[in-house]
Amino acid sequence: MLAGLPELLPELTELYVDLHRSPELSFAEYETARKLAARLSAAGYEVHTGIGGTGVLGVLRNGPGPVVLLRADIDALPVEERTGLEYASTVRVADESAGGREVPVMHACGHDMHATWLTGAARLLAEQRQQWSGTVLAVFQPGEEVGDGAVAMVRDGVLERAPTPEVVLGQHVVPGPAGWVLTRPGVLMAATDALRVVLHGRGGHGSRPETTVDPAVLAASVVLKLQTIVSREIAATEQAVVTVGSMQVGTAHNIIADHATLEVNVRTFDEQIRDRVLAAIRRIVDGEAAAAGAPRQPEITEIARFPVTTNDEAATAELATVFRDHFGAERAVPAPMVTGSEDFGELGRAAGAPSVFWLVGGLDAGQVTEAAAAGRFEQDVPSNHSALFAPVLDPTLRTGVETLVVAALHWLGAPAVG
């Protein structure tokens, strides 16, 4: 089944470079979706477009047998690329979510690689249909970065346009050694809660702070106090992350503004801890506002919400064995829990099917191992969402196509070789 991969790699490389050069933000992936849909159609898939906005579903019916869903996300981020690559993105667009402000755009999370992997796997499965029987569903999902894409596709009937899948499979490129494949049964990735906090003050002249309630000082107090949630309210044996990623207040040096806006990001692996952290944020925000004499209650609204990514235990154990048999124990290794988040699990949940999500290393193996040995992994190895993050093409591209094909064929009951 994988015999045709070497001949396909140049075409996939060309697709990857094109997608990397032409990134599109969440729910604006119009050209990306068009290109991917065209390739599915050319490979013989029944293609449905515009699902959940810009989502694409390819259905390949190949006789009786299991139904396997393969998913890749396709959106990019408002990040200015600094990789120095010849094919680096220079795209800038007006971002509606940022009030129409022009922002740079980059595939800083590797979704261009994910889309290319699934395109290659879909093509190989279509070209060798005589070796397996069943149905393959190829889902290209928009809007993963904002946490709404999978739900949007489900609500728009993606699972009603094809047979119900018996398993849902997906993967993500990570800053590990290229060629590694990492699996973990149970909880793999954290839940996310993104919150917008508006703190109300009373504005005035910068020379007369005594006549105001300064929201800048209030915001500073809130930011510092929020850092005590993890350090003082969560046990050392438990895990949570609270980050204030954005703080906006004021327009000039001599004006005390009337409000400040914070954006807070929370990561947890357990629902009880999640509830405790969110309650603590509310308590601290309300308490600091009251202590400052704020004229109005703060406003806390949800921006985005991702579920915990939990892999089916039995299906993941099966797949880990399959990957070890195919790649060898030195490349197929256990994954740690990851504080990044995904909405992939919404597809399996909606289908009532087991889901498995795994990780594929994408950076130069020598760079990663050298940095880890020197205790400088965090400093020297770019992570997802970094302006410097860019997977090496070889062997990352080949490995990600192989994993999808090998995993799909495990459930379709066919060998991957030949």
Q: Say which residues have a Cβ less than 8 Å from residue 129's Cβ, sequence separation at least 6.
A: 60, 62
Dist CA 335 CA 293 (whole Å): 48
Ligand-binding annotation for 109, yes or no, is: yes
- Would the annotation count 233 as a binding residue? no
Cross-strand pairs, 45: none
Of these residues, 24, 29, 75, 214, which one is catalytic?
A: 75
- Nearest-10 Cα torsion for 153, 242, 261, 308: 10
Kindly name the residue from 24, 112, 144, 312 that is annotated as catalytic: 144
For the record, the structure tokens of 87 come out as: 């094919």
| Token pair 């032409």 in the structure block, residue | 22
Non-local (6+) Cβ contacts of 145 within 8 A are: 26, 73, 75, 76, 77, 109
Q: Give the C-alpha separation, 186 to 357, whole Å.
A: 10
Token reading at 395: 């062997």
Nearest Cα residue to 308 out of 275, 351, 264, 263: 275
Q: Which residues contact 173 (CB under 8 A, 6 or more apart)?
A: 110, 113, 114, 359, 360, 361, 362, 384, 391, 396, 400
DSSP secondary structure string for all residues of 118-173 = HHHHHHHHHHTGGG--EEEEEEEE--TTTT-HHHHHHHTTGGGSSPPPSEEEEEEE
Burial class (CB in 10 A: 0-12, 13-18, 19+), 27: buried
Is residue 14 part of the annotated active site? The answer reads: no
What backbone torsions phi and psi does residue 277 show, to the nearest 5 degrees? -65, -45
Q: Is 102 annotated as a binding residue?
A: no
Q: Pick the closest to residue 23 from 73, 97, 75, 62 (CA basis).
A: 75
Annotated catalytic, 270? Answer: no
DSSP-assigned beta bridge partners for residue 62: 134
In this structure, the strands spanning 181-183 and 92-95 are unpaired
Spatial distance between the Cα atoms of 144 and 140, rounded to a whole number of angstroms: 10
Residue 238 labeled ligand binder: no
Annotated binding site for Mn(2+): 109, 111, 145, 172
- Active-site residue set: 75, 144
Annotated binding site: 109, 111, 145, 172
